[in-house]
Structure 1
Amino acid sequence: MVNDYRFSHRLKVRYSEIDGQKIVFNAHYLTYIDVAVTEYFLEGLKLDFEAEDFDFVLAKSTLEYKNSARLNDWLTIWCKMSKIGNSSMTMNCMITKEGEEDPILLAEIIYVSYDAETKMSRPVPEFVRARIEAYESGQLSTR
């Protein structure tokens, strides 16, 4: 665990994700984060989106680029929920190269609990709030 992040997801940089400078094109980092956040909810929190009444949408993303990833690098995407509001959740993410602790990217992502029927925000369900709080405090076991 790096810097109190309990959850991480690994992936390998593919050829289609690099640009003319032979580094990962900036927009792909959001995809990496999206994949890791999905795994945070599925594997970390053990949420079943099909069976449980919960969905969320992206409201804001702030990315701070520190370094670059290259073809075939193994990356670790670290995720932790830093705040849960009434309807919003703030996720902090950090991407590192495998075996390194210095970040290549830092991110703050704000999600909003969403009702697909009404197409409006709604309060974060209590069962989701409880699982996040238990997971982040170490009371819900990892993977």
Structure 2
Amino acid sequence: MSFAFPVVPRYAEIDQQGVVFFGHYLTWCDEAFTAFQASVGYPYPDMIADGVDIQIVHASLDYGSSVQWGDLVELAVENEKVGTTSLTSRVVVRRRSGPDEDWSDAVVVQLVHVCVDASEFTKVPVPARLADGLAATRG
């Protein structure tokens, strides 16, 4: 399953160099992952209601090109691995400067989330509902 989350770069997200400020990529990834999680059948509010939360413990960003104001942008989210208490995702920020242009990969992000008890913030196993939903996305 391929999941794409559209993003419209806002003028306020552009820095003095004329490109998206690096911190905004992580905000976009958080929004995209939340939508991806819902798409696999386990929306974030359901997980919280089940007493489980997730926290980022690692994020890495590799830049190939910059996103500029006015670019068309989408984030492709993929499940890479589900462990006992953690999950690893790959997010590719894709851009094109116009509707007739080809998509190109701008930034590749790796995210590692750890599942925690929603009140104690201690590690807990990845909920079966989330693990099963993510497993179904692997080709």
TM-score range, shorter chain: 0.7 to 0.9
How far is 1:121 from its partner?
1.2
Deviates more, 1:51-60 or 1:18-27: 51-60
Q: Distance in 2 between matches of 1:48 and 1:79?
A: 15
State the TM-score, normalizing by the size of structure 2.
Answer: 0.87
Q: Does 1:96 align with 2:94?
A: yes
Q: Distance in 1 between matches of 2:67 and 2:136?
A: 33
How far is 1:102 from its partner?
2.5
Q: What's 1:70 paired with? A: 68
One-letter amino acid of the counterpart of residue 124, structure 2: R
Q: What's 2:58 paired with? A: 60
Q: What's 2:23 paired with? A: 27
Deviates more, 1:128-137 or 1:33-42: 128-137
State the TM-score, normalizing by the size of structure 1.
Answer: 0.85
Q: Does 1:113 align with 2:76?
A: no
- The number of residue pairs the alignment matches comes to 132
**Which contiguous aligned blocks of 4+ residues in structure 1 show a shift greater than 2 angstroms?**
48-52, 98-102
How big is each residue's C-alpha offset from its partner over 1:63-100, in whole Å with a ceiling of 9 and x where there is no partner? 00111111121201010011011001000110111453
| SS of alignment partner, residue 41 of structure 2 | coil
Deviates more, 1:114-123 or 1:92-101: 92-101
Q: Distance in 1 between matches of 2:46 and 2:11?
A: 36
Contact 1:6 1:136 in 2 (8 A): no
